[in-house]
Amino acid sequence: MAQQTKVIGMVAGEASGDLLGSHLMAAIKQAMPGVRFVGIGGPRMRAAGMDILFPMEKLAVRGYVEVLRHYREIVGIRRKLRARFIADAPDLFIGIDAPDFNLDLELQLKRYGIPTVHYVSPSIWAWRGERIQKIKRAVSHVLALFPFEVPLYQQEGVPVTYVGHPLADMLAEVPKRAALREQMQLPKQAMIFALLPGSRQSEVRQLAATYIETARLILNKYPDARFLVPLASRETRAIFEEAIYHCAAEELPITLLFGHAQDAMIVADGVLVASGTATLEAALLKRPMVITYRMPALSWWLTQRKRYQPYVGLPNILAGRFVVPELLQEDALPENLAQALLNLVADKQAVAELEEIFTGMQATLTQNTAHKAAQAVLPYLAD
């Protein structure tokens, strides 16, 4: 009798989840070649063979106010997905990050006997720690990216596996900065700054003009400076181009890139980065950075009330202290950002110390993540 094909439901809500999902899919396929994947993902998961039911961009919304604006549509998608998975049950469901969407879905699917894995622990160590009780009810297993997350789940009796972070595996070798600068036709002696305003349209709208004015101020100090701005989509590029026009900044030496965020950071002397996964990328690439973020005032106020830690950037969270500056919300002014970047890149000792700290982080996070995650979920697919 032929063995029945296993089916895994998956949901990723943004670009970082799409990357995680595609790597996990490849590792599971290696162990179980006939497995099928269905759900919500981005271009990487589609290329890895996922049957996409809804576009991932529908879920890529951040902040209380922004979520409320799209609430009905997001809830409608979750309702349809739940009905689909209950009617035609997958052998396993894996929710990749996006906890506000995935945990409710996992809670409902688990009640119907579908094993549920949550990949990327929600940041219960940073804010909204009470969610661990919901996680306990909703999931069969948690895959944690950071080692300090494991004891939190063990204390509550939630099955958990530390899998490390895939970026640490991907960025294991020290990049050849000089060769890449030459390849990108950048001046050898010029100061290069990478400006990363985020992957979401809302993030770029909040930060584009600030980044442009920051570049203008840095140029006063380094007249030969160059600025690289990696953007994730045509939409975010259009937003940044419009900001350049409104800031009358067409003469600034700003180069917009389609993607290539890692390349921009590798060649940069300093990085200005919106809080998120890109801060970890910058750390793993051993680059000095200033972290910034801005969101609508109400979203910020609500977020601040639930925070447990004084820092938001992953490098600082992993270090347990401020190792790089964070300038957020009302402090995210061009004058502050430019000064912080200029101070950092001018301090050679500080840059060397950061490189040592970031090297230690990489050693901890390098775990062959996709393989380790696949090995943790395969038992749920056993006959």
Distance CA 198, CA 277 (A): 9
pLDDT for residue 312: 83
Q: How many CB atoms lie within 10 A of CB 255?
A: 13
On whether both 277 and 318 belong to a single domain, the answer is: yes
CB 229 within 8 A of CB 195: yes
On whether both 348 and 361 belong to a single domain, the answer is: yes
Asked whether residue 195 is assigned to any structural domain, the reply reads yes
pLDDT for residue 125: 65
On whether both 202 and 332 belong to a single domain, the answer is: yes
pLDDT for residue 277: 84
On whether both 132 and 61 belong to a single domain, the answer is: yes
On whether both 129 and 192 belong to a single domain, the answer is: no
CA dihedral for 59, 62, 64, 65, sign (positive or negative)? negative
Question: Would you write out the chain's pLDDT as a tens digit for each of its 383 residues?
Answer: 446 789 999 999 888 889 899 999 999 999 999 999 999 998 999 999 999 998 877 665 554 445 555 567 788 889 999 999 999 999 999 999 888 899 999 999 999 999 999 999 987 765 667 889 999 999 999 999 999 899 999 999 999 999 999 889 988 676 688 889 989 999 888 999 999 998 888 899 999 999 999 999 999 999 999 999 999 889 999 999 999 999 999 999 999 999 899 999 999 999 999 978 899 999 999 999 999 988 777 666 666 655 556 778 899 989 989 999 999 988 999 999 999 999 999 999 999 999 999 999 999 999 999 999 999 999 999 87
pLDDT for residue 71: 63
Asked whether residue 1 is assigned to any structural domain, the reply reads no
pLDDT for residue 1: 41
On whether both 330 and 273 belong to a single domain, the answer is: yes
Distance CA 146, CA 206 (A): 29
On whether both 259 and 124 belong to a single domain, the answer is: no
Asked whether residue 35 is assigned to any structural domain, the reply reads yes
On whether both 26 and 44 belong to a single domain, the answer is: yes
**Number of compact structural domains in the chain:** 2
CB 377 within 8 A of CB 25: no
Burial class (CB in 10 A: 0-12, 13-18, 19+), 39: buried
Asked whether residue 172 is assigned to any structural domain, the reply reads no
Would you call 9 helix, strand, or coil by DSSP?
strand
- Which range marks the domain in which residue 343 is found? 177-365
- Whichever domain contains 46, its CATH number is 3.40.50.2000
DSSP letter at 333 equals: -
On whether both 144 and 278 belong to a single domain, the answer is: no
Q: How far is CA 23 from the centre of its chain?
A: 15
CB 363 within 8 A of CB 376: no
Beta pairing, strands 92-96 & 7-12 = parallel
Identify residue 323 by its one-letter amino acid code. Answer: V
On whether both 105 and 228 belong to a single domain, the answer is: no
pLDDT for residue 98: 87
On whether both 192 and 297 belong to a single domain, the answer is: yes
Q: Under the phi-then-psi rule, with left for phi > 0, alpha for psi from -120 to 50, and beta for the rest, what region is 152?
A: alpha
CB 93 within 8 A of CB 10: yes
Asked whether residue 101 is assigned to any structural domain, the reply reads yes
Distance CA 143, CA 369 (A): 10
Asked whether residue 2 is assigned to any structural domain, the reply reads no
Residues 6+ positions from 368 with CB-CB distance below 8 Å: 164, 169
On whether both 216 and 305 belong to a single domain, the answer is: yes
CA distances from 19 to 87, 180, 238, 274 (A): 28, 23, 24, 19
pLDDT for residue 15: 80
Asked whether residue 170 is assigned to any structural domain, the reply reads no
Nearest to 67 by CA among 112, 101, 33: 101
Would you call 173 helix, strand, or coil by DSSP?
coil
